[in-house]
Structure 1
Amino acid sequence: MTEREQEILQLLRQDPLIPQQELADQLSISRSAVAGHIMKLMQKGHILGKGYILADTPYVVLLGGANMDIRGSTSNSLRQGDSNPGRVSCSPGGVARNIAENLARLGADCRLISAVGDDLYGRALLESTQRAGVDVRPVLLLPDAATSTYLSLHGPDGDMAIAINDMEILARLDAARLAPQRELVRHAGLIMADANLSAEALAWLFAEAGDTPVFIDTVSAFKAERIRPWLGQIHTLKPNRLEAATLSGLPLDQASHAPAVANWFHQQGVVQVALSLAGDGVYYSSAAAQGWSPAPAVEIINTTGAGDALMAGLAWGWLQQQALDETVRFAQACAALTLGCTATNNPTLSLAAVQHMCTTLQYAEQS
Structure 2
Amino acid sequence: MNAAPDILCIGSVLWDIIGRSPVAMRLGSDVPGRITRLPGGVAMNIAMTLARFGMRPALLSVVGRDPAGEELTAACARLGLITDHLYRSDDLPTDQYTAIEGANGLIAAIADAHSLEVAGDRILRPLSDGSLGAPGAPWEGLIALDGNLTTRLLADIAASPLFSMADLRVAPASPGKADRLSVLMTHPRATLYVNLEEAGILARRSFRDASEAAHALLERGAARVLVTNGGKECAEGTRGGGVIADSPPPVLVTRVTGAGDTFMAAHIAAERQGAGRSAALSLALQAAATYVSGEIGA
Q: Percent identity among equivalent residues?
A: 27
Tell me the CA shift for residue 79 of structure 1.
Answer: 5.0
State how far apart, in whole Å, the 2-side matches of 1:71 and 1:176 are.
Answer: 29
Larger strand fraction of residues? 2
Q: For residue 173 of structure 1, what is the aligned residue in structure 2?
A: 119
Question: Deviations 1:311-363 (Å, cap 9, x if unpaired)?
Answer: 00121123233211110111112212211228xx736xxxxxxxxxxxxxxxx
Pairwise mapping of residues 215-364 of structure 1 onto structure 2 (< 5 A)?
A: 215-233=169-187, 234-252=189-207, 254-255=208-209, 258-286=210-238, 287-341=240-294, 346=297
Q: For residue 70 of structure 1, what is the aligned residue in structure 2?
A: 17
State how far apart, in whole Å, the 2-side matches of 1:127 and 1:135 are.
Answer: 11
Q: For residue 201 of structure 1, what is the aligned residue in structure 2?
A: 153
Amino acid at match of 1:346: G
State how far apart, in whole Å, the 2-side matches of 1:289 and 1:197 are.
Answer: 30
Amino acid at match of 2:297: N
* Match status 1:96 vs 2:43: yes
Question: Deviations 1:196-242 (Å, cap 9, x if unpaired)?
Answer: 01123223333121122211011222211111122111521111111
Tell me the CA shift for residue 181 of structure 1.
Answer: 2.9
Question: Deviations 1:225-262 (Å, cap 9, x if unpaired)?
Answer: 1111221115211111110001102222x22xx33422
Task: Give the TM-score normalised by structure 1.
Answer: 0.73
Number of aligned residue pairs: give it. Answer: 288
Q: 2:84 aligns with which of 137, 142, 153?
A: 137
CA contact (8 A) 1:175 1:204 kept: no
> Structure 1 161/178 Cα, relative in aligned 2: closer, same or farther at 3 Å?
same
State how far apart, in whole Å, the 1-side matches of 2:29 and 2:251 are.
Answer: 31
Q: For residue 190 of structure 1, what is the aligned residue in structure 2?
A: 142
SS in 1 for 2:194: coil
CA contact (8 A) 2:254 2:294 kept: yes
Amino acid at match of 2:143: I
CA contact (8 A) 1:283 1:292 kept: yes
Structure 1: segments with no counterpart, 5+ residues:
1-10, 15-57, 348-367
State how far apart, in whole Å, the 2-side matches of 1:90 and 1:176 are.
Answer: 27
Structure 2: segments with no counterpart, 5+ residues:
none
SS in 1 for 2:183: helix
State how far apart, in whole Å, the 1-side matches of 2:249 and 2:81 are.
Answer: 28
CA contact (8 A) 1:154 1:161 kept: yes
Larger helix fraction of residues? 1
Q: 1:13 aligns with which of 3, 23, 46?
A: 3
Task: Give the TM-score normalised by structure 2.
Answer: 0.89
CA contact (8 A) 1:173 1:201 kept: no
RMSD: 2.1
Larger Rg: 1
SS in 2 for 1:301: coil
